[in-house]
C-alpha cells in the first residue's frame, strides 16, 4: 500500500486536471477539425485576438509598475505605519465582480458619480441639445485594461514584497556607500536580487491578464468588445452551444499559458544566483523610512479599493440609482430583499457549501501531493508528474477549465451537471496550485529532523503526521484555507459556465441581476459577497493563527 498510494494520487490528479482539457481538444479535432474551422470563421477574430493581447500586455504593465512601486514603498514605511502594507492585499479579498460593478457605478458615461462631478466643471459642459455623457467611458477598451491592471496588482505585490523582505540591509547600504542614489540602487541592486519574485509575479500577472473574463464580460458587452475568454463562454455557455469551437478558440490561451509556465521555470532554474548573502542581517527594511511611502500606499488603496466600495455602498442604499448621492433617500430595503429572495438565498447557500467542501477536499489532497513531492514518494515519474499537474491550473485560464468540465460532465459515464459536485470538482482543480504551494513552503521550512526524531522514538507514519507534522503546519494550512475560501467565495468565471438553474452560486446570480440592470440590488449582492469573504478570512485566521495566516495571505 505504501508504494501504491502515490500512484493513486497521481491518477486522481490526472483525472481532475487532464480529463476536461483532453476531452475539449478531442471534440475540437473531431469531424476533420471542424471545431477549428468554425472558430477561425468567427466574425472579427483578428479584433478579438488583438484585444486579448492588448488586455494582457496593458494590464501586466500596469500591475508591474503599481506592484513594484507598492512593494518597494511597503519596505520603507515608518514602524508605526507598517500596518499599511496590508492595504494592497485588499484587492484579493474584494470579489472581482464587485470591484468591476463598483467601477461601473463610478464611471458609467451617463450615471457614473465621477462623470457627473466632472461634467459640473465649466470646460466639460455637454453641447446644447446633446445628452450629458462622459467624459470617461468605463465600457471602453482602455478602461477595461486599466481596471484589470489594478485588479491583478495585488498578485505582483505579494511576490515582490516577499522577495524584498529577504534582501539584507547590508547590500543596500553598501550600494549607497559606493555613491549610488536610491533610484540607481533600486535598479542595479534590488531588482536583480528579486528577479525570481519578479519573474514569477510577471508570469502570474500575464496568465491572469490573458484569461481575464470578468471585466471584459461585464463591461465589454456594452461596446461589443470581445476577448478569447468571453468568446469561449459564448460558444460553450450560451445556446446554441458549440463545445468544439469553444475548445478550438481556447487553444491559444492554453498554449500561451503552458509556455509561460515553462519559461518561468527555466528563468528560475538557477535561483541561487539571486540570493543575497546578507539575508539574515536586518532583512525586510530597505534603509531609511519615508512618510511618502505611506502616502503612496494610502492613495493607491483609496483609488483601487475604497472608491468602488464606496460606490457600491451608496448604490445599495439607494431605492434607484441615478448616480446622484441623496442620503435622505437611503434605505436598507435592498439588503432585506437579498435575504428574502429565494434565488439569492439559495445562491449564498450553494456558494458556502461548494466552497467549504472544495477547501475540505483540497487541503488533504494537497497535503498528500506535498508528501509525494517533498519526500520523493513513488519515484521520479510520480513526483515530476504530480508537480506538473498541480501547476497546470495556474497556467490554464479558469474559463477553459469551466468549458472542459461542462462538456465532460454533461455526458456519460459521469453526468454531474445540475449537481453541486460539478462545482466542487472544478473548484478543487482550480485550487490545487495554491494548497500545494503553501503547504510545500511550510513543509520545506520544517525540514526532516522532526519527522526523523519521531520515527526514532517509535512513532509510526500516521502518528508522526498527526502528532508532529500537522500541528506544526497549522499556520500554513490555515493560510491555505483562507486563501482558497477567498478565491472560491467570489469565483465567477468557471462557475458561470458549469452552473445550472439548480446550482447557482452568488456570483452567477449577481451576473443575472446585472444583465437586468437592477443596479441597487446588484450593489447590495456585491457587498454581501464581500462580507461572506471577509467572514471566511476571519474564521481561517482564528483556526490558523493570526500571524501565520496573514503572512501567507
Domain's final residue, options 316, 340, 366: 316
Residue 475 located in a structural domain: yes
* 403 shares its domain with 517: yes
- Average pLDDT over every residue of 140-167: 86
Residue 110 located in a structural domain: yes
Cα separation of 182 and 292, whole Å? 14
* 28 shares its domain with 175: no
- Average pLDDT over every residue of 452-474: 76
Of the chain, the percentage scoring pLDDT greater than 70 comes to 86
**CB atoms inside a 10 Å sphere around CB 88:** 25
User: Any idea what the Cα angle at residue 313 is, between residues 312 and 319, rounded to 5°?
Assistant: 95
**SS3 state of residue 411:** coil
Q: How many helices (H) and strands (E) does the chain have?
A: 28, 0
Cα separation of 210 and 60, whole Å? 9
For residue 173, the model assigns a pLDDT of: 65
* 9 shares its domain with 158: no
Dihedral sign of CA atoms 324, 327, 329, 333 in order: positive
Cα separation of 306 and 309, whole Å? 5
How many independent structural domains does the chain possess? 2
* 281 shares its domain with 395: no
Residue 325 located in a structural domain: no
For residue 413, the model assigns a pLDDT of: 83
* pLDDT mean across residues, the chain: 83
DSSP 356-377: HHHHHHHHHHHHHHHHHHHHTT
Rounded to two decimals, the pTM is 0.84
For residue 255, the model assigns a pLDDT of: 86
DSSP state of 270: T
Residue 123 located in a structural domain: no
Instruction: Note whether 192 and 271 are within 8 A (CB).
Output: no
Range list of H helices, 178-236: 182-185, 191-193, 195-210, 214-220, 228-236
- Average pLDDT over every residue of 35-42: 91
End-to-end CA distance of the chain: 36
| Phi, psi torsion values for 83, nearest 5 degrees | -65, -20
Residue 126 located in a structural domain: no
Residue 237 has pLDDT above 50, yes or no: yes
User: Residue 547's pLDDT band (boundaries 50, 70, 90)?
Assistant: very low
Cell numbers for 512: 443575472
DSSP state of 137: -
Cα separation of 388 and 214, whole Å? 27
User: Residue 295's pLDDT band (boundaries 50, 70, 90)?
Assistant: very high
**SS3 state of residue 278:** coil
Residue 421 has pLDDT above 50, yes or no: yes
Burial (CB < 10 A; 0-12, 13-18, 19+), residue 531, is: exposed
For residue 191, the model assigns a pLDDT of: 73
Residue 276 located in a structural domain: yes
Residues spanned by the domain of 412:
1-33+332-553
For residue 30, the model assigns a pLDDT of: 86
Residue 37 has pLDDT above 50, yes or no: yes
* 378 shares its domain with 238: no
* 195 shares its domain with 224: yes
> How big is the chain, counted in residues?
553
Instruction: Note whether 16 and 391 are within 8 A (CB).
Output: no
User: Residue 13's pLDDT band (boundaries 50, 70, 90)?
Assistant: very high
Burial (CB < 10 A; 0-12, 13-18, 19+), residue 206, is: buried
Peptide bond just before 415 cis, omega within 30 deg: no
Residue 380 located in a structural domain: yes
* Least confident stretch, 170-174, 225-229, 452-456: 170-174
CATH number of domain containing 206: 1.10.3720.10
* 300 shares its domain with 436: no
For residue 274, the model assigns a pLDDT of: 45
Cα separation of 211 and 253, whole Å? 7
* Least confident stretch, 272-276, 379-383, 399-403: 272-276
* 524 shares its domain with 507: yes
* 301 shares its domain with 362: no
Cell numbers for 265: 521555470
* 154 shares its domain with 15: no
Cell numbers for 209: 491578464
DSSP state of 332: S
- Average pLDDT over every residue of 506-515: 88
DSSP state of 272: G
* 282 shares its domain with 416: no
User: Residue 326's pLDDT band (boundaries 50, 70, 90)?
Assistant: confident
Cα separation of 490 and 213, whole Å? 13
Instruction: Note whether 39 and 248 are within 8 A (CB).
Output: yes
Instruction: Note whether 189 and 171 are within 8 A (CB).
Output: yes
Residue 511 located in a structural domain: yes
* 202 shares its domain with 226: yes
Q: What is the pLDDT of residues 126-150, one digit of tens each?
A: 666 566 677 899 999 999 999 999 9
- Average pLDDT over every residue of 28-42: 89
Which of 149-158, 422-431, 440-449, 452-461 has the largest mean confidence? 422-431
Backbone region of residue 447 per phi and psi (left: phi > 0; alpha: psi in -120 to 50; beta: other values): left
**SS3 state of residue 189:** helix
Q: What is the pLDDT of residues 98-134, one digit of tens each?
A: 899 999 999 998 888 898 888 888 777 666 656 667 7
- Average pLDDT over every residue of 26-35: 88
For residue 373, the model assigns a pLDDT of: 86
Amino acid at each position: 500500500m505504501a508504494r501504491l498510494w502515490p500512484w493513486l494520487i497521481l491518477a486522481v490528479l490526472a483525472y481532475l486536471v487532464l480529463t476536461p482539457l483532453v476531452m475539449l481538444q478531442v471534440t475540437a479535432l473531431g469531424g476533420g477539425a471542424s471545431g477549428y474551422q468554425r472558430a477561425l470563421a468567427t466574425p472579427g477574430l483578428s479584433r478579438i485576438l488583438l484585444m486579448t493581447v492588448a488586455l494582457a500586455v496593458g494590464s501586466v504593465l500596469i500591475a508591474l509598475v503599481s506592484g513594484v512601486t507598492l512593494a518597494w514603498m511597503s519596505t520603507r514605511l515608518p514602524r508605526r505605519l507598517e500596518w499599511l502594507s496590508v492595504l494592497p492585499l485588499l484587492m484579493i479579498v474584494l470579489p472581482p465582480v464587485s470591484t468591476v460593478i463598483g467601477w461601473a457605478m463610478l464611471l458609467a458615461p451617463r450615471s457614473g458619480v465621477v462623470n457627473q462631478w466632472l461634467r459640473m466643471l465649466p470646460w466639460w459642459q455637454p453641447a446644447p441639445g446633446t445628452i450629458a455623457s462622459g467624459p470617461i467611458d468605463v465600457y471602453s477598451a482602455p478602461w477595461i485594461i486599466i481596471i484589470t491592471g489594478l485588479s491583478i496588482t495585488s498578485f505582483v505585490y505579494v511576490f515582490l514584497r516577499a522577495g524584498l523582505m529577504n534582501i539584507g540591509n547590508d547590500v543596500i547600504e553598501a550600494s549607497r556607500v559606493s555613491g549610488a542614489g536610491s533610484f540607481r540602487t533600486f535598479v542595479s541592486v534590488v531588482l536583480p536580487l528579486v528577479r525570481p519574485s519578479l519573474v514569477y509575479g510577471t508570469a502570474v500577472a500575464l496568465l491572469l491578464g490573458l484569461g481575464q473574463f470578468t471585466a471584459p464580460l461585464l463591461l465589454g458587452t456594452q461596446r461589443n468588445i470581445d476577448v478569447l475568454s468571453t468568446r469561449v463562454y459564448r460558444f460553450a455557455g450560451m445556446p446554441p452551444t458549440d463545445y468544439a469551437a469553444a475548445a478550438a478558440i481556447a487553444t491559444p490561451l492554453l498554449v500561451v499559458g503552458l509556455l509561460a509556465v515553462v519559461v518561468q521555470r527555466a528563468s528560475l532554474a538557477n535561483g541561487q544566483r539571486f540570493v543575497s548573502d546578507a539575508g539574515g542581517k536586518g532583512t525586510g527594511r530597505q534603509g531609511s523610512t519615508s512618510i511618502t511611502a505611506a502616502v503612496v500606499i494610502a492613495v493607491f488603496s483609496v483609488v483601487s479599493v475604497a472608491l468602488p466600495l464606496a460606490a457600491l455602498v451608496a448604490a445599495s442604499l439607494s431605492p434607484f440609482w441615478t448616480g446622484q448621492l441623496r442620503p435622505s433617500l437611503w434605505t436598507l430595503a435592498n439588503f432585506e430583499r437579498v435575504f428574502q429572495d429565494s434565488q439569492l438565498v439559495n445562491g449564498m447557500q450553494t456558494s458556502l457549501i461548494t466552497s467549504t467542501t472544495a477547501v475540505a477536499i483540497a487541503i488533504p489532497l494537497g497535503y498528500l501531493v506535498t508528501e509525494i513531492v517533498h519526500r520523493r514518494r513513488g519515484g521520479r515519474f510520480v513526483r515530476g508528474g504530480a508537480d506538473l499537474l498541480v501547476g497546470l491550473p495556474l497556467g490554464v485560464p479558469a474559463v477553459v477549465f469551466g468549458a472542459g468540465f461542462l462538456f465532460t460532465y454533461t455526458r456519460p459515464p459521469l453526468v454531474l451537471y445540475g449537481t453541486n459536485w460539478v462545482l466542487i470538482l472544478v473548484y478543487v482543480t482550480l485550487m490545487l496550485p495554491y494548497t500545494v504551494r503553501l503547504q510545500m513552503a511550510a513543509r520545506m521550512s520544517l525540514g526532516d529532523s522532526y519527522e526523523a526524531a519521531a520515527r526514532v522514538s517509535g512513532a509510526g507514519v500516521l502518528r508522526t503526521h498527526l502528532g508532529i507534522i500537522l500541528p506544526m503546519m497549522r499556520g500554513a494550512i490555515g493560510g491555505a484555507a483562507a486563501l482558497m475560501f477567498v478565491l472560491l467565495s467570489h469565483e465567477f468565471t468557471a462557475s458561470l459556465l458549469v452552473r445550472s438553474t439548480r446550482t447557482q452560486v452568488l456570483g452567477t446570480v449577481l451576473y443575472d441581476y446585472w444583465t437586468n440592470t437592477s443596479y441597487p440590488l446588484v450593489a447590495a449582492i456585491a457587498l454581501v459577497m464581500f462580507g461572506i469573504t471577509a467572514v471566511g478570512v476571519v474564521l481561517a485566521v482564528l483556526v490558523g493563527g493570526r500571524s501565520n495566516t496573514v503572512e501567507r495571505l
